[in-house]
Amino acid sequence: MGIFAVLALPLLLFGISGIIYIYQSVRWLLSKSAVQNKVVVITDAISGLGKECSRVFHNGGARLVLCGRTWEKLEALYDALINVADPSTYAPKLILLDITDINCIRDVAKEIVNCYGCVDILINNASMKVKGAVQSISLELDKKIMDANYFGPITLTKAILPNMIARRTGQIVLINSIQGKIGIPFRAAYAASKHAAVGFFDCLRAEMEEFDISVSTVNPTFICSYHRQPAPGNWEASIWKFFFRKVAYGVHPVEVAEEVLRTVSSKKQEVLMANPIPRAAVYIRTFFPELFFAIVASGIREKQKTEEEN
C-alpha cells in the first residue's frame, strides 16, 4: 500500500502530462490543416515575427504571398523556406510593399490579389516603434508611426476586402500589441497608433459578420528575438517595476507565430499574449483606472529620481 501511494502521484502526473501533450499535438495538427491550400498574405514578412509566421504557415501547406520592403531579404526568406520545405508545398510569391507608402498600397493590393485570384487570410504584421518623451518626438515622426501602424494596415485591408466580400469568406488578422490596451509612458505615438488599430478592427469585426469574414487581433507583449533584461539603473526597470517588468522580457517570435496559426484555425476574435502581471495591468486599467494611473505615475517619479541621482 505504501509503495502504491508513493508511485501514484508520479504516475498521475505522467499520465496528465501525456494527455496534455497529445491534446496539444492534435490541436497543432488541426491548426496546420486549417490553412492547407489557403492563400495567406503576410506583411513585413522579412521581420523576425514575419519570418516565423511565414515558416509556420508554409509548413501548414498554405499558398503564401510574402510582402516586404526589401527584395533581397524577400529572396533570402524564399530560399530559406524552399530549402527546408516538403516538395509538395507551394512556392511563396514575393511582393514588394512599403506599408508606410500609403499612396502605393492600393496598386500593390491588386498585385497581391492577382497572385492567386483571391485572398483567404490577410495577416497584418507590419509595425514601427518609437520611444521617447512626448515633447521630444516630432509631429512628422508621429505621423510616420501612424502610417506604419494604422493607416497602412487599414488601407491594405480596405483594398483586399472587396475580394473577400464578393466571395463571402475570408479572415483578417491584426498582430497588434498589449499597448493597444494600455499606454506605457514614453511610447505615446506607438500606443496611440495601436489603440487606433484596435478600434478600427473591432468595428470591422462587427461589420464583416454578415459576409462570414472573421477578424482577429493578437496582442502580445514586447516581441523580442531573445529574452533581454533591463540594465541596472535603466529607467525601464523602474517604470515597469510593478506592472510592466515582464513586458520587457517579452515573447519570442516563434510563440507569437504559433499563436497566430491557432487563432486562424479557431477564428478566435481576440488574443492577449501576456504574463499574469501585464495581463492584470490591462484589467486594472479597465476597472480601477485611478489605481493604474497612480502606479504608472510612481514609476515616472522613480525614473526622475534615478536620473537626478546619476
* pLDDT average, residue stretch 170-182: 95
**pLDDT over threshold 90, residue 100:** yes
Phi-psi region of 293 (alpha: psi -120 to 50; beta: other; left: phi over 0): alpha
Q: What is the pLDDT of residue 120?
A: 97
Between the alpha carbon of residue 92 and those of residues 66, 77, 132, 256, the distances in Å are 7, 10, 38, 21
| DSSP result, 143-205 | HHHHIIIIIHHHHHHHHHHHHHHHHT-EEEEEE--GGGTS--TT-HHHHHHHHHHHHHHHHHH
Strands, E assignment, the chain: 39-42, 63-68, 93-96, 121-124, 170-175, 213-220, 270-273
Q: What is the pLDDT of residue 22?
A: 59
Residues designated catalytic: 190
Mapping DSSP to helix (H, G, I), strand (E, B) and coil, where does residue 229 land?
coil
Q: What is the pLDDT of residue 238?
A: 46
Between the alpha carbon of residue 278 and those of residues 157, 271, 272, 298, the distances in Å are 29, 14, 10, 17
Residue 84's Cα: distance from chain center in Å?
24
Higher pLDDT residue, 85 or 221? Answer: 221
Residue 41's Cα: distance from chain center in Å?
14
CA-CA distance, 299 to 246, in Å (whole number)? 15
Q: Residue 161 corresponds to which cell in the numbers above?
A: 476586402
**pLDDT over threshold 50, residue 130:** yes
Mapping DSSP to helix (H, G, I), strand (E, B) and coil, where does residue 50 land?
helix
pLDDT in tens, 29-82: 545 568 999 999 999 999 999 999 999 999 999 999 999 999 999 999 999 999
Sign of torsion over alpha carbons 298, 302, 307, 309:
positive
**Could you give phi then psi for residue 12, rounded to 5 degrees?**
-65, -45
Polymer length of the chain: 310
Q: Residue 244 corresponds to which cell in the numbers above?
A: 510592466
Determine the residue type at 245.
R
The structure's pTM equals 0.81
Q: Residue 263 corresponds to which cell in the numbers above?
A: 487563432
pLDDT in tens, 290-305: 998 888 887 676 555 5
**Could you give phi then psi for residue 182, rounded to 5 degrees?**
-135, 150
Element (H, E) at 257: helix 253-266
Work out the pLDDT band at 157, boundaries 50, 70, 90: very high
Judged on CB neighbours under 10 Å (0-12, 13-18, 19+), 10 is exposed
How do 63-68 and 93-96 pair as beta strands? Answer: parallel
Q: What is the pLDDT of residue 274?
A: 86
Q: Residue 212 corresponds to which cell in the numbers above?
A: 462570414
CA-CA distance, 187 to 208, in Å (whole number)? 31
With a CB cutoff of 8 Å and minimum separation 6, the contacts of 279 are 272
* pLDDT average, residue stretch 222-250: 50
Mean pLDDT across the chain: 84
The residues pairing with 170 across neighbouring beta strands, listed in sequence order, are: 213
**pLDDT over threshold 90, residue 27:** no
CA-CA distance, 267 to 205, in Å (whole number)? 11
Tell me how crowded residue 117 is: count the other CB atoms within 10 A of its CB. 9
